[in-house]
Structure 1
Amino acid sequence: MTPGNSGASTPEDDDPFGYLYADGQANGAQPPSGGYGYPNSVNRVRAVGQRQYGQVPQQQGAYGQPSAHYAAPETLPGGAPARQQPQGGGGRGRGPNTKGLLIGAIAVVAAVVIGIGVAMIGDDSGKKDDNQAGGATPAVTQSAEPTPTEKAGEKAPGELPKIDAKALRVENGANLASDVQGADASGGVYVSGLNTPGAQVTWNVDGIPEDGDYTLFAHYSTAGEDQAMTLTVNGKVYGSKLPVKNYRHAADGDFAKGWTTTYVYPTLNKGTNTITVSCQDGDKCNILLDQMWLKKGQVTR
């Protein structure tokens, strides 16, 4: 060989079209008949899949069957780790749990709706409270007008009996009047004329809850010297006179300034009792009487 020409038999000089050029023809290039056209050229024709470069020949197996010379990369030293395939029926991998996601989404939406509803209810309740607090609700007031029972001088529910002058039985010269101011009875009516011997007033008391001691109060007026009258309870004369003294120290004849109260402690029976105030021999009866009432036990007011 000469420098620059290593011969036409080397693979890199195997020009399959060398016979088309003058230098190729000078070197003896021929049209291809199995090689590349040069004499003694390397015949590189190979069947498909048979050219090997130091590798173990692979044998073609039946379609779908593994090759006897094939080994998975993960089985070789330093190979890639085996990939876990998701388990599932019918040879198909299972996708995400869409049913669970749907249930979770519905639960979140329901929680939000419930929260909004609770907030709205709370807000409405607050508005109702504000309206109630700020509203001008008319106050319920009681009429100052006395009830029919009070007008008649009788007891109110839960209280012991009370009577005005015009509801008393007036006898033997006693009479009703209203000329003198200051009477507490309805219409300012009082009993006058009691200073006549035998004159009297009678009160038939109903509704005494039980036997026992009670306090009998009498509202009256006197002027000048002290007075005293006879008290009879259920047909029996009380042990002492009814004291009707001039506690106001009203001047003789000035009955408008002599209104005051006295009391005694009679013993009454359960149910109905009869109380009489009368002017008997030896009594001083120059008084005006407008009210009487009872309280349980021995009290002073």
Structure 2
Amino acid sequence: MTPGDNGASTPEDDDPFGYLYADGQARGAQPPSGSGGYGYPNAVSRVRPVGERTYGGQQQAAPQYGGQTIPQQPGGGYGQQPNAAYQAPETFPGGAPATRQAPPNPGRGRGPNTKGLLIGAVAVVAAVVIGISLAMMNGNSDDNKASGGASTTPTQSQSVSPSPSSTSSASATGDIPPIDAKALRLDGGASLASDVKGAKAEGGIYVTNLNQTGAGVTWTVNGIPADGLYTVFAHYSATQDESMTLTINGKTFGSKFPLQNYTHQSDPANAWTTSYTYPTLTKGTNTISLSCQSGDSCDVLLDQLWVKQGKHTNKS
């Protein structure tokens, strides 16, 4: 098939490839030149630079970009919309416009508040240290309460054998707590035993062999608060009415110390009872002795002695 020929200066003459055919060359078709034209002589040229042609409207004002006017080729877009030729911003005089920066964000305009963070951290550490200190103080206080505030140093237990010189101290009220038989000084053949039950002393120990002249016990009492009348108590077991000599600071006190069978029991284990008398003691240290002297009846078992300031009975 060969291309048709409908005459010169017709739209078909715009065939840009006419110069390739013999009939086109006969009509003077030329290959493209440096000016950009090609085709037949006097042919309708539809070749336009980009943005040159306009359609039914006036050329619009050239747009601006970055403060520079963009040259616009004649013509525009379809309808009334101009189609400006595009040029890269860097081709304008002065180069590309400066990059537009976003306005600063008020909430993020400053860096982190490191000073506030440091203060907060210091406050937290201080609170922890104070809490630990208080916990340690409370723990120590609880330990003291649990131990009754007493020293943790173990105390040496009393020996079962009698002490050569037993002593006791008065409390703030002038009362002396009971002293056990094993803490008394034994004289004249007196000895310790625990065969008979019912003694109040520790271990059920009591003094026996008092029923002989010269046998007895001695108790040294410290810290008597003032001169005056005191009550001396004795806890003992007697199956008959007995009596012994009471000596205060080396002097015999009045009549005998009564050690009667107030329980009216014949079994020594059931005959434990209490007796008392009212000697005068001096401020400071006093020596109290209970012994079996001539004319005394001393068949008793003795396990405790104690003192109270003033005049008392067994029930007071």
TM-score of the superposed pair, with normalisation by structure 2 = 0.47
Higher relative contact order (CA 8 A, sep 6+): 1
TM-score of the superposed pair, with normalisation by structure 1 = 0.49
